[in-house]
Chains A and B, each alone.
Chain A
Amino acid sequence: MFFVKKIFYFNRQNNNLLILFILSMALISCDSPDNIPVQHVNNEERLSDTELQQKNTQKHTNQHNAGLPHQHNTFYFGFDLRGSPQEDAAQYLPFLKYLEKATGYQFKLHFTPKYSTTIDELGQDKTQFASMGASSFLRAQVKYNAKSLVRGLNQESKAEYQSILVIRPDSHISSINDIKGKSFAFGSINSTQGHLIPRIILSENEISLNDLRRYNYTGSHQNCAEAVVSGKFDVCGMQDKLAKSLVSQNMVKILYTSRYFPSSGIVVNKFVPDEVVAQVRQALIDFDPQGKHSQNMRHWDRTEMVNGFVAAAESDYDNLRHWSIQLGFLQEADKPE
């Protein structure tokens, strides 16, 4: 006590000493930069992969039993990966934030795994909403009773797009008739612009797959373009937007441009309640990425819905459905009533 009194006596004489003392005390109290407690654990208790799987399953079951996710107003939104996951996530997350704000529901991002399809993810309720092209939608509709909510508006605010057949700039191919006997690269087998529409172009020009020297599915528009630029294939059928971008860089040149077909849209599976569907559809129609909702959007102009959405109608897909059946992608029996 005497010592303490002395200390304070000197403190009165020297404020700097007091500050030092307080600082010391403060530093002692701030010894640890965080407030996370140390947990004493048993490192010996280990779970085999099977036990871990059981635990995971139990978690999933618990979640499912609890009605998760969408009974708790959380919905997964499925997208096909276009670029890197990080880039795609940065592109889509602001859009999902907009939907959350507009509807009051929670939306989670989901990218389709390599060994699955957006269609199956939607059908298996791993996702409740998904962005997909017309071709995929027609399959999802047939297979899982999916519904198209809206179609994307392109740069010209049209709900339609084209496919473009591109060749190398130094290619000797001058017309579509020249591609007989040439190698042809498609994008994903489920792609509208990368497969269905190019097949329609070939069919309309009376070119069958057998007329081609060889053909292959590269999995994506990017891979398809790479195949032509690298010289592995002579022709690539791909989406119009990427094709025009590559043409502007003199990477490829256009051989043939298709007519317009219904653009990609947002599709919902059959498990989502009607009132949610209605709310989401309205929020999508109200979405104005170039106007009042442009803030926080990132690279939205790279998508096929540059100017937002327009409500989709069943009849929009009649022509493509016809071609899909004709080309054998769908069975005649799959045609909805």
Chain B
Amino acid sequence: MTIANRIILLILMTVLASSLANFLLTRYQSTALHSESEKILANTLVQSLRDALVQDVIDSNKLRVTNLLRSIKRNDNPIEYLYVTKGINHVVFAHSFEQGFPGFLVHSDEPSIDHLGTHLSYKYSTENGLIFDYSETLIPGLDTVLHIGINQTEILQQLNRINQYILMTSLIIALFAFLVAYLMGRQLSIPLTQFVGRIQRYGTGESIEFTDLKKFAPEIAKLANVFQSATAERQQMLDALAEREQHLSSTLDSIGDAVITTDTDGLITRMNPVAEHLTGWDGIRASGRYLTEVFNIMHAITRQAAENPVNKVLQSGQIIGLANHTVLISKDGTEYQIADSGAPIKNDNGEILGVILVFRDVSEEYRLQEQLSKHRDHLEHLVTERTMELQAQKETLEDNFQQLKLAQKQLVESEKMISLGSLVAGVAHEINTPVGVSLTGITYIKDETRQIMKKLQAEKLTQTELEEFLSNSDKMSDAMYHSLVQASELIRSFKQVAVDQHAEEKREFDLHKYIDDVILSLHHKIKHTSVTVNNNSNEACLITSYPGIFSQIITNLITNSLVHGFDAGMAGEITISAQVQDNVLTMLYTDDGNGIADEILPRIFDPFFTTKMGQGGSGLGLNIIYNLVTRKLKGNISCESHLGEGVIFKLEIPL
């Protein structure tokens, strides 16, 4: 139905409803007014008759009351009858009927209720017409009631006439309203019709001008403005959409994987060239077809048709992947091993609009995968065999390693014993000289003393001989004293160093002095070289640690320098410095000997590494130092050296 017709119908219905309501309301008001008027008439009668009637009723003046009622009825009015009842049973006391009292007015079951005011009690339909019976209790408490019957015939006729008049008026108004509605509808529908035509064209995508519609009513002009703006906005959006579409299309076509999109019914909406190639379908021909028709997939091994991925996506609403071993049968029968995934296309509200299917040809990968799988199995077999062999070798190696460790231990002990032996030999050698001097001296003194005593006994001793004897004895004693002091000092040092090399207990000692003792204990080795050993450590450097370990470290380092750092007859200098700071002892051991070649520097702490193999080097010296520093003293040791530039050993030991 057109808007114009709707407007006409709407106005017509409004007017009809309004007229009907008006008619009914007027009719209702007329009836109510009439009813109220009647009630007022009845009430007025009651008020005017009340006193006279009550007094006569009280005095039982029936005749007077009857005459009064009849006189009222005789007047030219619609009153049909009047009668008075009294008492609890409403016995008829007097009435206006001249031909006898109507039987229908005798009520046997009338309740005795004092009504306040005049009210309509009964409605009687008689041969004389419709009669309304109004009644009112004349005096509350006296049970005297006046009934007034009013004939409605004339009033109803008048009401009907009024109703007919109102009905006619309403119909005329409705007709007029219809005419106005028709004209207005037409007037309104002209711009609307034009609007509709343009909007229909607008709906087809055509670019429409609405500006000329502004000449109509302000609402139409406003609407035209809105549509004009909407047209411009739509064009902008369409341009943007076309651009995005083009971009999307290019993107899809550029994707190396095949892409197919469908709507929620599984009908294809788009395919990219890769998809066209793999399916063998032209995108335009495939569009609108069911996916299952174009995207024919099955299980590579069982050859059973695979489940439509679109259905799975639509059911789950989530991204799904294809089962393994899926084969796509192209339109020309070519089979492609494919891997793919499907995902729902959702709008901003999360509603699914369709499905996008992305897949690619993995035939080559699949073939390689199969080969790889076979190779892997073979390799696994080989690895198992090799593992077993290696296990056997490992066990052998572990045995060897244990033997090696034992040998190492024996070597270390042997090294220690060698060191100790060397020490003992050195010390014995050193003591031998003063002891020899002392023995020579005491032998001389003994021989000279005997010679003097013989000469004394023979009384041949001269003063000069005695004085020479005493002088020589004194010199000899002096030499013997110094030799014995030297020997005693040597023994003390040896004892201290020897004991500390085996002692494992921590104790407090003066490091400076201890270094001096160690250097002294090595004197027998040093004195045959042109190397000078300097103790630059801080004096009175008291620390609590393992002095034997320090002895071994310093001994090994000096021995190493003497063996490896300096060639025979080569002059040089060894310097040992030490200082304690923040409970960390830092020792620097330097020599200016041959230095260590760069390529072997990293291996100097390795066990059994020596450049003097077969020349007395065990290859354990620095390894022992390394182990003592890192494990026993929980410190660290490093070495800097270049060939020809000497060495610097730096030891950092927490105290």
Binding site for B on A (CB under 8 A): 6-7, 10, 13-14, 16-17, 20-21, 23-24, 27-28, 30-34, 36-49, 51-52, 55-56, 59-60, 62-63, 68-69, 74, 81, 84-86, 89, 92-93, 96, 108-115
The 4 closest A-B pairs by CB, nearest first: A46-B100, A109-B141, A41-B104, A27-B24
- B 112-130 to A, binary, CB cutoff 8 A, 1 in contact else 0: 0000000011111111101
Distance A113 CA – B65 CA, assembled complex (angstroms): 14
Residues in A neighbouring B290, C-beta threshold 8 A: none
Distance A68 CA – B122 CA, assembled complex (angstroms): 27
Residues in A neighbouring B176, C-beta threshold 8 A: none
Q: Main SS of the interface on chain B?
A: mixed
Q: Is the CB of B58 within 8 A of A45?
A: no
Is B31 engaged at the interface, CB distance under 8 Å to the other chain? yes
Residues in B neighbouring A40, C-beta threshold 8 A: 124-125
Distance A182 CA – B120 CA, assembled complex (angstroms): 58
Which of A34, A43, A81 is B102 in contact with, Cβ under 8 Å? A43
> Which one of B10-18, B388-396, B423-431 is at the A interface?
B10-18
Distance A55 CA – B123 CA, assembled complex (angstroms): 23
Is B451 engaged at the interface, CB distance under 8 Å to the other chain? no
| Contact sample, A vs B, 11 pairs, CB 8 Å cutoff | A31-B24, A33-B32, A39-B122, A41-B126, A52-B92, A56-B91, A68-B88, A86-B50, A86-B51, A108-B143, A109-B141
Residue of B nearest to A88 (CB): B139
Q: Is the CB of A45 within 8 A of B17?
A: no
Residues in B neighbouring A69, C-beta threshold 8 A: 88
Residues in B neighbouring A85, C-beta threshold 8 A: 51, 54-55, 58, 139, 142
Q: Is the CB of B88 within 8 A of A111?
A: no
Is B333 engaged at the interface, CB distance under 8 Å to the other chain? no
Residue of B nearest to A69 (CB): B88
Residue of A nearest to B129 (CB): A43
Residue of A nearest to B100 (CB): A46
Contact A27-B51, Cβ < 8 Å, known A38-B130, A63-B89, A111-B142: no
Q: Is the CB of B99 within 8 A of A17?
A: no
Q: Is the CB of A113 within 8 A of B97?
A: no
**Residue of B17, B128, B130, B142 with most chain A CB atoms under a 10 A cut-off:** B17
Within the complex, the shortest CB–CB distance from B33 to chain A, in Å, comes to 10
Q: Is the CB of B60 within 8 A of A46?
A: no
Q: Is the CB of B88 within 8 A of A74?
A: yes
Is B644 engaged at the interface, CB distance under 8 Å to the other chain? no
Is B503 engaged at the interface, CB distance under 8 Å to the other chain? no
Q: Main SS of the interface on chain A?
A: mixed
Residue of B nearest to A74 (CB): B88
Distance A43 CA – B60 CA, assembled complex (angstroms): 28
Distance A56 CA – B21 CA, assembled complex (angstroms): 50
Q: Kindly identify, within residues 18 to 53 of chain B, every residue whose CB is under 8 Å from any CB belonging to chain A.
A: 18, 20-21, 24-25, 27-28, 31-32, 35, 50-51
Residue of B nearest to A47 (CB): B101
Distance A159 CA – B189 CA, assembled complex (angstroms): 96
Q: Is the CB of A113 within 8 A of B139?
A: no
Q: Is the CB of B88 within 8 A of A63?
A: yes
Q: Is the CB of A20 within 8 A of B28?
A: no
Q: Is the CB of B102 within 8 A of A33?
A: no
Q: Is the CB of B127 within 8 A of A20?
A: no
Residues in B neighbouring A111, C-beta threshold 8 A: 58, 142
- B 251-294 to A, binary, CB cutoff 8 A, 1 in contact else 0: 00000000000000000000000000000000000000000000
Taking A7-B13, A21-B17, A86-B54 as given, write out 12 further A-B residue pairs in contact, using a Cβ cutoff of 8 Å, ordered by the A residue number: A10-B6, A17-B13, A20-B21, A43-B126, A46-B99, A47-B101, A55-B106, A85-B139, A89-B139, A109-B142, A111-B58, A113-B60
Q: Is the CB of B125 within 8 A of A39?
A: yes
Residue of B nearest to A37 (CB): B123
Residues in B neighbouring A28, C-beta threshold 8 A: 24
Q: Is the CB of B17 within 8 A of A47?
A: no
Q: Is the CB of B141 within 8 A of A39?
A: no
Q: Is the CB of A86 within 8 A of B101?
A: no
Is B9 engaged at the interface, CB distance under 8 Å to the other chain? yes
Within the complex, the shortest CB–CB distance from A51 to chain B, in Å, comes to 8
Is B569 engaged at the interface, CB distance under 8 Å to the other chain? no
Is B140 engaged at the interface, CB distance under 8 Å to the other chain? yes
Q: Is the CB of B140 within 8 A of A39?
A: no
Within the complex, the shortest CB–CB distance from B64 to chain A, in Å, comes to 11
Q: Is the CB of B103 within 8 A of A46?
A: yes
Q: Is the CB of B140 within 8 A of A93?
A: yes
Distance A262 CA – B257 CA, assembled complex (angstroms): 130
Is B108 engaged at the interface, CB distance under 8 Å to the other chain? yes
Distance A20 CA – B13 CA, assembled complex (angstroms): 10
**Residue of A30, A43, A69, A92 with most chain B CB atoms under a 10 A cut-off:** A43
Which of A17, A34, A89 is B142 in contact with, Cβ under 8 Å? A89
Residues in A neighbouring B141, C-beta threshold 8 A: 89, 92-93, 96, 108-109
Which of A33, A51, A93 is B31 in contact with, Cβ under 8 Å? A33
Residues in A neighbouring B127, C-beta threshold 8 A: 43-44
Residues in A neighbouring B28, C-beta threshold 8 A: 27, 30-31, 33
Is B59 engaged at the interface, CB distance under 8 Å to the other chain? yes
Residues in B neighbouring A6, C-beta threshold 8 A: 9
Within the complex, the shortest CB–CB distance from A77 to chain B, in Å, comes to 9
Residues in A neighbouring B13, C-beta threshold 8 A: 7, 10, 17
Residues in A neighbouring B100, C-beta threshold 8 A: 46-49, 51-52
Residues in B neighbouring A46, C-beta threshold 8 A: 97, 99-103
Q: Is the CB of A38 within 8 A of B125?
A: yes
Which of A34, A68, A84, A93 is B120 in contact with, Cβ under 8 Å? A34
Residue of A nearest to B86 (CB): A56
Q: Is the CB of A43 within 8 A of B35?
A: no
Contact A45-B24, Cβ < 8 Å, known A38-B123, A89-B139, A108-B141: no
Residues in A neighbouring B25, C-beta threshold 8 A: 23, 27
Contact A24-B54, Cβ < 8 Å, known A38-B124, A69-B88, A93-B141: no
Which of A20, A33, A84 is B17 in contact with, Cβ under 8 Å? A20
Q: Kindly identify, within residues 168 to 211 of chain B, every residue whose CB is under 8 Å from any CB belonging to chain A.
A: none
Contact A14-B59, Cβ < 8 Å, known A20-B21, A37-B123, A45-B103: no
Within the complex, the shortest CB–CB distance from B228 to chain A, in Å, comes to 27
Within the complex, the shortest CB–CB distance from B96 to chain A, in Å, comes to 13
Within the complex, the shortest CB–CB distance from A274 to chain B, in Å, comes to 24
Distance A93 CA – B137 CA, assembled complex (angstroms): 14
Residues in A neighbouring B27, C-beta threshold 8 A: 27, 31
Distance A40 CA – B129 CA, assembled complex (angstroms): 10
Residues in A neighbouring B139, C-beta threshold 8 A: 85-86, 89, 109
Within the complex, the shortest CB–CB distance from A94 to chain B, in Å, comes to 10
Within the complex, the shortest CB–CB distance from B266 to chain A, in Å, comes to 38
Distance A150 CA – B140 CA, assembled complex (angstroms): 26
Distance A37 CA – B139 CA, assembled complex (angstroms): 27
Residues in B neighbouring A92, C-beta threshold 8 A: 141
Which of B14, B106, B128 is A14 in contact with, Cβ under 8 Å? B14
Q: Is the CB of B122 within 8 A of A36?
A: yes
Residue of B nearest to A43 (CB): B126
Residue of B nearest to A27 (CB): B24
Residue of A nearest to B99 (CB): A46
Residues in A neighbouring B18, C-beta threshold 8 A: 20
Residues in B neighbouring A39, C-beta threshold 8 A: 104, 122-125
Within the complex, the shortest CB–CB distance from A99 to chain B, in Å, comes to 12
Residues in A neighbouring B89, C-beta threshold 8 A: 59-60, 62-63
Distance A51 CA – B100 CA, assembled complex (angstroms): 9
Q: Is the CB of B35 within 8 A of A45?
A: no
Q: Is the CB of A17 within 8 A of B17?
A: yes
Residues in A neighbouring B143, C-beta threshold 8 A: 108
Which of A17, A41, A45, A108 is B88 in contact with, Cβ under 8 Å? A108
Residues in B neighbouring A47, C-beta threshold 8 A: 100-103, 106
Distance A34 CA – B119 CA, assembled complex (angstroms): 11
Q: Is the CB of A41 within 8 A of B50?
A: no
